[in-house]
Chain A
Amino acid sequence: MDGCCGPGYASPAEAIKAPKEKLLYTIAIYTGTGIQKPDYLATVDVDPQSPTYSKVIHRLEMPGIGDELHHMGWNACSSCHGDSKMSRKYLLVPGVRSNNIYVVDTASDPRAPKIHKVVDGSEIKKKTNLSGPHTVHCLGSEIIISFLGDARGEAPGGYLHLNKDFEIVGRWENSMGDIPFSYDFWYQPRHNVMVSSEWAAPNTFMPGFDLEEVGHLKYGRRLHVWDFKKKEPVQTMYLGEDGLIPLEVKFMHNPDSSHGFCGAALSANVIHFWKSKDGKWEWEKIIDVENEPHPDWPIPVPGVMSAILVSMDDKYLYINNWLHGDMRQYDISDPHKPKLTGQVWMGGLLGKAPEVNGVKIAGGPQMYQLSLDGKRMYVTTSLFSTWDNQFYPEIRKQGGAMIMIDCDVENGGMKINKDFIVDFGKEPNGPSRCHESRYPGGDCTSDIWL
């Protein structure tokens, strides 16, 4: 990083050249596990030269119980690279159930982050009528966070706007249009576009998954294209049965690209979208993970593709199948025709890899974060407390795990690293469940270029 500038990197190509990550942060939950302790932000040592490599070296407990920490995001990213007054110092960590947003100072002591400020959940409800926070992105020096519901947990929710001092500005969007549900979003400023996806109302997904509610249209099946400057939706892509429960949205990192992807969790499909020559947004299904037979199931098991990730060089797309238990790598040099180049197994219901590096895995590959150079992927196994409890009840006693995959960026390919595993079943307060991870120096799901 050159000293004259703000946070992040001048371009994706510069980001790839950044020093290797030595620490990462992952959230770990006790909410819904039966252990009456606060959720926490765990610092994991990922420096192979360190004596505490592959261990949790610090735990920052939240002030109370019941948050369900889930996703998080930085106060600043490469979208602020030109602003020398900004720095990537604070991690914003929302509690899906409590509505609180914890602003964590990771810069004063990166190994032992501390709480800088709490944006109180009830204040957010009072001022903006929002609950169920999910995705955090910064836009320049401002911050927007998607919320899945109103203060009573009803869809569609909206977007909270915080300023750089983490004060509530109000609602970010000017209109939700006819959007029925919210979830994830990503924006690509050079195309003046944001794309958002649909999970469900907090009152629907928080208590657990009732399959029948999909048929009752309580879960999403659309993507929404926004005019980013006008802050309003302009086009809906109805995905139908191909796009049941469309969750994570990722654009290519190249700021000139209009190509992006979404993983439809229940359909276990990857949807590719792009801007056509006449300026309309188009979509197609490019990956379709078949349901797999299971001896005890009356119907084949769907993959449940709960996350997707694009490598910083835009060459590889990674997907997970939480119920099957596999992680896959696709070469997306031609985004219309992805080529499967790697696959590994961990946990899952199909019994392909019940144990990894000596640790029994409860759950399946779920959230993952990729190093900027694309070579190391850190994967965790818990999805959401109530959904974990339905599909992988043994996770209560076994806890979650973090596994590392070595990714071949030259020829494609994935391999589970034999020297790394963090067993969250052995945490001091009892088995906890780890979820999303971030690196202090930026990662493949944080940075956007203006």
Chain B
Amino acid sequence: MTKITISNRNNSAFEVTGKKPLLNELRDQGVDLPYGCQYGGCITCAAKLINGEVDQRSQVALNNRQINDGYIILCVAKAKTDCTIEIGVESHDKLYRNPFLDPLEPHELKPDIASKKKEKK
């Protein structure tokens, strides 16, 4: 079992198995969470991982910038370690951006089309 702490719900903590997606594990314990497609494609359930590690290899909604900003897709992400997360739209401050005002760098696109990141000196 691993422990999930929700930082923007008074640091309330929940024990999860890591065998099911966090959306299911947390909703089963009464946490009210947004969701949509339930297969990792639509971003509605996005949350921010403050610390810890999840397996979200099957998500297809996030681009690399969102991943680097710590976003995880709860309907597919499974906990690998104890995690602290921030949930709901309060965690979405960096999730949405105007694509014309704030374009992505080639390495920040979705993983299937992103180019390799140039190393900064």
Contact = CB atoms under 8 A, between A and B. Distances in A.
Given A216-B113, A386-B96, A66 B35 contact: yes
Interface in B36-73: 36-39, 41-44, 60-63
A210 B108 CA distance: 10
B82 to A, nearest CB: 26
Nearest to A36: B32
A3 interface: no
A296 B98 CA distance: 12
26 contacts: A32-B36, A34-B89, A34-B92, A65-B34, A66-B36, A66-B44, A98-B36, A151-B39, A202-B37, A203-B60, A206-B36, A206-B37, A206-B41, A206-B43, A207-B61, A207-B63, A208-B96, A209-B99, A210-B104, A211-B99, A218-B113, A385-B44, A390-B97, A390-B99, A391-B98, A393-B96
A157 to B, nearest CB: 13
A33 B89 contact: yes
Contacts, number: 106
B88 interface: yes
B110 interface: yes
Given A203-B41, A212-B104, A31 B36 contact: yes
Nearest to A97: B36
Given A36-B34, A213-B113, A389 B99 contact: no
Given A34-B89, A213-B113, A216-B109, A208 B43 contact: yes
Given A202-B41, A216-B113, 16 more contacts: A32-B44, A34-B34, A65-B34, A97-B36, A202-B37, A203-B61, A207-B42, A207-B61, A208-B96, A208-B99, A210-B110, A212-B104, A213-B113, A298-B100, A299-B100, A391-B98
B60 A211 contact: no
Interface in B87-120: 88-90, 92, 95-101, 103-104, 106, 109-110, 113
Contacts of B36: 31-32, 66-68, 97-98, 206
Contacts of A36: 32, 34
Contacts of B100: 211, 297-299, 301
B88 A34 contact: yes
Interface of B: 32, 34-39, 41-44, 60-63, 88-90, 92, 95-101, 103-104, 106, 109-110, 113
B66 to A, nearest CB: 8
B101 A298 contact: yes
A437 interface: no
